[in-house]
Amino acid sequence: MGAGCHAGRTQGLVVMTPDGSRLGAFGSAGTGPGQFLDGHDLAVDSRGAVYVGALNGRVLQKFDRVE
C-alpha cells in the first residue's frame, strides 16, 4: 500500500499490488471524516482495517476493509 503525495502533503491512500499496479484508492484531502492532511502514520490490523494518523487536528482515522 502506498500513500499518494502532493507538495509534501498526503492527499489519500492508494492500494497497489506488489508489482505496482493500482487496485484503488480511498481517503482525500481535508479535515472531515475520511479526509486528512499531513498523514503521518499508517497501520493495518489483522482484519484489514487501515488506520491513518494525521498531524492536522491530531486525529486517528479508521478505514474498514470493504470486500
- Tens of each residue's pLDDT in the chain, 67 residues: 444 444 445 567 888 889 999 888 888 888 788 887 777 788 899 998 888 887 766 788 888 877 6
Report which secondary-structure segment, H or E, holds 5.
strand 2-6
Burial of 61 (0-12, 13-18, 19+ CB in 10 A): middle
The CB density around residue 39, as the number of other CB atoms within 10 Å, is 22
Instruction: Please report the pLDDT score of residue 57 as a whole number.
Output: 64
- For 18, 22, 41, 47, 66, the CA distances from 38, given in Å and listed in that order, are 25, 22, 9, 25, 24
User: What range does the domain containing 57 cover?
Assistant: 2-63
Instruction: Please report the pLDDT score of residue 7 as a whole number.
Output: 42
Overall number of domains in the chain: 1
- The residue count of the chain comes to 67
Instruction: Please report the pLDDT score of residue 21 as a whole number.
Output: 92
Instruction: Please report the pLDDT score of residue 19 as a whole number.
Output: 93
